[in-house]
Amino acid sequence: MSAAQEVHGGRPRLLGPAVAYLLLAVGALVTVAPFVLSGMTAIKSPQQFAAEPVLNPPQPLTLDNFSTLFGGRYDFVSPVVVTAQVVAVILIGQIVFSVLAAYAFARLRFPGRDALFWVYLATLMVPQIVTIIPLYAMFAEAGLRNTFWGLVLPQVFGSPYGIFLLREYFRGIPEDLISAARLDGCRTHQILRYVVVPVSRPILATLTIITIVSHWNNFLWPLVITSGPTWQTLTLATANLQSQYNGNWTLVMAATTVAIVPLLVLFLTFQRHVVRSITITGFK
């Protein structure tokens, strides 16, 4: 990658580097501004927000909005915990079951393999809004509305997207590694555990991050399948708070900050993986 960049950088350009930097900086500013502004509002007192111009920096700087948020009445602790639990369970289920399926598609031969894989792929085209209604009906009839398992079940059994991703990667594992393990008498589950998974760490890390991000941010399904404060996820709690305390922007911005920060931290820690994950998923 750096070789290509070197070559590109050597010739006279339509836009000089100064202009390029300016444009990039403007882009960065526009990207970051809403985060900064909302964060600023979250640490302002409601009185200051109402009395002074909105763009004034917080003075005094206060964490009251956050303590109100986590205090008894709004109880933002529960949505954070519920979301973490849901994401953890879905993550484990999706990774495990996707690895199993991807291995089967990638390394085993069996009748109907390609046709079945096409079926898996085809389901990627089914939009969420289409399955929402029947799933709601099915879960409501089964008494699973507003339960933990109602939130988790549709997602926990592996994702076609993850299976697709992993299969590509598994196909690239050298046959020797696996044959060697087989010759050593390994059963399938041991092959997976001692050969496939260790070798696939990068793609697994990638898939983990994609899974965490998409399920942490899921809104439509929790909106439909849960009711009330017990099982609301973080995105749902934020929406409900905004609905209830419409003009109370300092409180609402505190809620959005809480909803964003965990993923922001995750992202900044693992940003190389995330960036790579986004680009890997595109190609092939």
Partner 1 sequence: MKSRALALAAALVLTAGTAACSPAADEDENKEAAGNTTVTVRIWDDQVAKAYQASFDAFTKANPDITVKINLVPFADYFTKLPLDISSGDIDDIFWLNSSPFGALADSGALMNIDEALPDEKAGWVEAAVDQYTREGVMWGVPALTDGRSVVYYNTKLVEDAGVDPANLTWSPDPAADTFLPAAEKLTKDSAGNTADQPGFDAKKVDQYAFNAANDLGAIYYNFIGSNGGEFQVEDGSFVFAEDKSAQAIQYLVDLINEQGVAPSAADTNDNGDFSRDKFLQGKMALFQSGTYNLKNVADGATFDWAIAPMLQGPTGRVSVVNSIIAAGNAKTQNRAATIKVLKWLGSTEGASFVGQSGAALPAVTDAQQSYYDFWEKQRVDTTQFGETSGSTTIEAPFGPNFLDANNAYNPIFKEIFAGRTPVPEGLQEAQDAANDAIK
Partner 2 sequence: MRRSSRETGTAYALLAPSLFGITAFLLLPIFVVVWLSLNRWNLITPAEFVGLDNVREVVADGAFRRSLVITAGFVAIVIPVQTALGLFAATLLTRGLRGSSLFRVVYVLPWICAPLVLGVVWKWILSPSDGALNALIGQRVEWLADPTLALPTVAAVTIWTQVGYVTLFFVAGLTSIPTHLLDAARIDGASPWQVFWRIKLPLLRPTTFFVLVTGIISSFQVFDSIYALTPQGGPDGVTDVVAGRIYYQAFQSRNIGQASVMALVLFVLLVVITVGQQRWFRARTTYDLSS
Instruction: Give the footprint of partner 1 on this chain (CB under 8 A).
Output: 50-51, 73, 75, 77-78, 81-82, 84-85, 87-89, 91-92, 140, 143, 145-146, 148, 201, 205, 208, 227-231, 240, 243-248, 266, 269-270, 273
d(CA 231, CA 149): 10
92's contact among partner 2, partner 1, none, with CB below 5 to 8 A by partner kind, is: partner 1
Is residue 38 within 8 Å of residue 253, measured between CB atoms?
yes
Distance of CA 239 to the CA centre of its chain: 18
Neighbours of 35 (CB within 10 A): 13
d(CA 20, CA 7): 17
229's contact among partner 2, partner 1, none, with CB below 5 to 8 A by partner kind, is: partner 1
26's contact among partner 2, partner 1, none, with CB below 5 to 8 A by partner kind, is: none
Least CB distance to partner 1 at residue 251 (A): 12
d(CA 232, CA 236): 6
13 — phi, psi (to 5°)? -110, 165
Nearer to partner 2, 12 or 72 (CB): 12
Nearer to partner 2, 108 or 183 (CB): 108
Least CB distance to partner 2 at residue 261 (A): 10
274's contact among partner 1, partner 2, none, with CB below 5 to 8 A by partner kind, is: partner 2
Nearer to partner 1, 91 or 280 (CB): 91
4's contact among partner 1, partner 2, none, with CB below 5 to 8 A by partner kind, is: partner 2
Among residues 56, 259, 229, 59, the alpha carbon closest in space to that of 251 is found at 259
d(CA 79, CA 85): 10
d(CA 46, CA 41): 9
Least CB distance to partner 1 at residue 90 (A): 11
